[in-house]
Amino acid sequence: MSEVAAFIRAVRELYRQPDGAIPLHAPTLGEREKALVSQAIDSTYVSSVGRFVTVFEQQVADYVGARYAVATVNGTAALHTALQAVGVTSGDLVLTQALTFVATANAIRYCGADPVFLDVDASTLGLSPAAVDEWLTQHAVRRDDGVTVHRTSGRVVRACVPMHTLGHPVRIDALVRVCDAWGVTVVEDAAEALGSRYQGRHVGTFGRLGVFSFNGNKIITTGGGGMVVTNDEALACRARHLTTTAKRPHPWAFEHDEVGYNYRLPNLNAALGVAQMERLDDLLARKRTLALRYAALCDSHGWSWIDEPPGARSNFWLCGLMLPDVQTRDHWLGRTNEQQIGTRPLWTPMHRLPMYQHCLRDALTVTEEWAARVLNVPSTPPPQ
Ligand SMILES: *Cc1c(COP(=O)(O)O)cnc(C)c1O
Q: Which atom of ligand 1 is nearest to the CA of 78?
A: 9
Is residue 204 left, alpha or beta, with left meaning phi > 0 and alpha meaning psi from -120 to 50? left
Residue nearest to atom 13 of ligand 1 (CA): 101
Distances (CA, A) of 96 to 107, 173, 187, 299: 11, 16, 10, 33
pTM of the model: 0.97
Helix axes 129-139, 172-182, angle to 10 degrees: 20
Please indicate whether residue 191, judged by its CB atom, sits closer than 6 Å to ligand 1: yes
Is residue 135 classed as helix, strand or coil in its secondary structure? helix
Q: What is the DSSP string of 13-66?
A: HHTT-SSS-B-S------HHHHHHHHHHHHHS--SS-SHHHHHHHHHHHHHHT-
Tens-place pLDDT, residues 65-116: 999 999 999 999 999 999 999 999 999 999 999 999 999 999 999 999 999 9
Task: State the alpha helices, DSSP H only, in the chain.
Answer: 3-14, 31-43, 51-64, 75-85, 102-110, 129-139, 172-182, 233-243, 267-278, 280-301, 326-338, 365-373
Distance CA 188, CA 76 (A): 12
> 76: Cβ below 6 Å to ligand 1?
yes
Range 210-240 burial, b when 16+ CB lie within 10 A, else e: bbbbbbebbbbbbbbbbbbbbebeebbebbb
Distance 255 CA to ligand 1 centre (A): 32
Gap from CA of 287 to ligand 1 centroid (Å) = 20
Is 287 an annotated catalytic residue? no
CA distance 249 to 114: 34
| Closest ligand 1 atom, residue 217 Cα | 1
Name 256's bridge partners.
247
Q: Are 262 and 250 in contact (CB under 8 A)?
A: no
Nearest to 307 by CA among 253, 316, 299, 380: 316
Q: 188 CB under 6 A from ligand 1?
A: no
Domains (range + CATH), the chain: 3-26+280-377 (3.90.1150.10), 31-278 (3.40.640.10)
pLDDT of residue 376: 98
Q: 100 CB less than 6 Å from ligand 1?
A: yes
Ligand 1 within 6 A of 376 CB?
Answer: no
Q: Give the number of the atom of ligand 1 that is nearest the alpha carbon of residue 107.
A: 10
Q: How confident is the model at residue 364 (pLDDT cuts 50, 70, 90)?
A: very high
pLDDT at 1 over 80: no
C-beta of 7 in contact with ligand 1 (< 6 A): no
Atom 7 of ligand 1, residue of closest alpha carbon: 75
Q: What angle do CA 195, 198, 203 make, to 5 degrees?
A: 50
Q: Tell me the best of 101, 217, 379 to mutate to test the pocket of ligand 1, counting ligand atoms within 8 Å of each CB and taking the most.
A: 101
CA angle (191, 193, 199) in 5-degree steps? 135
Do the Cβ atoms of 318 and 71 come closer than 8 Å? no
pLDDT tier at 383 (50, 70, 90 boundaries)?
Answer: confident
Residue 322 CA to ligand 1 centre (angstroms):
23
pLDDT of 241-292, one tens digit each? 999 999 999 999 999 999 999 999 999 999 999 999 999 999 999 999 999 9
Ligand 1 binding pocket includes 74 (Cβ within 6 Å): yes
Dist CA 51 CA 36 (whole Å): 11
Burial class (CB in 10 A: 0-12, 13-18, 19+), 159: buried
Per-residue pLDDT tens digits for 19-56: 999 999 999 999 999 999 999 999 999 998 889 999 99
Nearest ligand 1 atom to alpha carbon 163: 13
